[in-house]
Structure 1
């Protein structure tokens, strides 16, 4: 038993949430419309062609990026998903992952660059990232549902919050690891800060940054599956229903579709940078 009074953390958070619901509702509505439009766009693009045509296209892309082994696995994996009857759910999940990963990268890379250039910003952001990475994933579902109700949008919001730290950290790390001699040489040739960033620091930091992007996409996929608990559609909803109804076979099939999608996304992001590096 503690002799100190309990800190009013829960009450303070609830008051802050109530204030945001009262004063920022139009902003949340606009964000919700934008995210839902983007998710629907990607999902419709992936579902528009016949599955066999989509598999042929993605197989060719896999061959161009990672040669025949990646192409063969991608074709067999997506044919298996189509055969099991989870094509539409998998494409919906892919749309959610692409959307959440896109937002994570668009926000994460600039924040990482700012942290690399500003020690004060890094001192502020680093503890926040520690907090975000140690917080249980299910906790992110609560504020997302509070502000955006149930459905696809809170799933994307929760995924972005959960998945963005690796991109920020590894962008910051990649830029800080650039050799000081190279940056001094660029300064000696009269490069501006912007030119030094674009032509020297970012190209050299790209391997580390791409590792962060890869982790972000994987985390986005894992969170999108968890977000099925709050109404996010896709293969995660099938897994969740199988768990609640104790349908072991169906859960294994849906989980297998998630595994295939995760491996394909992981290999695509890894080989994408390698192919670009070879072309340079």
Structure 2
């Protein structure tokens, strides 16, 4: 007697599995090239964070939080670090922080230029937008299986999966921030003879910074 699976005309799951295996086999040099900067930056950040003495790290975080936020945030940050050390998870916390720091660097390097490209080209945005929709509605762990097949087991697949899940908000906010710059400001820049590069760096990006930082916060 025929089983329901025997009647399947479109075995999509098998097609996807075969495609991933083909990519992993034939594009191995490409994925090794992608893996190299991620692995090296992650190792560098991990080494630096673990080498900074605990008291110095607390002071640096306190000063940075005081300068960028407020005295209340600075005190809270310092107390939180002391608590982390007191419960014996300082090493794990520094490893986690190195993972997050590395992911933020790559999200920014990918997200901001892509967002700028989308803001300046409606056709690109029409293609990128549905891709971002899928990326933001897919759970992060779903990326891990194909990523592990492509990059192997280790911290790099985790980084790639995190960047894939975290970059879309920054792309969206960068695109939105540049598009929200008042047309009068753009026209004024053009009237004063600004070219496209000057228009971007001296008018659009400075005015879009608050929105872009909102996207970075989401990332």
SS of the aligned residue for 2:181 comes to coil
SS of the aligned residue for 1:208 comes to helix
Supply the RMSD in Å over aligned alpha carbons.
1.5
Distance 1:194 1:184 in 2: 14
Distance 1:58 1:114 in 2: 34
SS of the aligned residue for 1:85 comes to coil
Give CA deviations for 1:146-183 in whole Å, capped at 9, x if unaligned.
11122100000000000000000000000110101110
Aligned match of 2:41: 38
SS of the aligned residue for 1:12 comes to helix
Q: Does residue 22 of structure 2 align to residue 22 of structure 1?
A: no
Q: 5+ unaligned residues in a row in structure 1: which ranges?
A: 217-280
Q: Does residue 76 of structure 2 align to residue 73 of structure 1?
A: yes
Aligned match of 1:57: 60
Aligned match of 2:164: 161
Point out the more displaced range, 195-204 or 13-22.
13-22
Compute the TM-score of the two structures, normalised by the length of structure 2. Answer: 0.94
1:109-148 superposed matches below 5 A: 109-148=112-151
Point out the more displaced range, 93-102 or 63-72.
63-72
Give CA deviations for 1:207-229 in whole Å, capped at 9, x if unaligned.
1100001111xxxxxxxxxxxxx
Give CA deviations for 1:55-104 in whole Å, capped at 9, x if unaligned.
11111111111131111001000000000101010100100001111101
Q: Return the offset for 1:5.
A: 4.8
SS of the aligned residue for 2:83 comes to helix
Q: 5+ unaligned residues in a row in structure 2: which ranges?
A: none
Compute the TM-score of the two structures, normalised by the length of structure 1. Answer: 0.74
Among 170, 180, 184, the residue aligned to 2:187: 184
Q: Return the offset for 1:134.
A: 0.7
Distance 1:39 1:197 in 2: 31
Aligned match of 1:174: 177
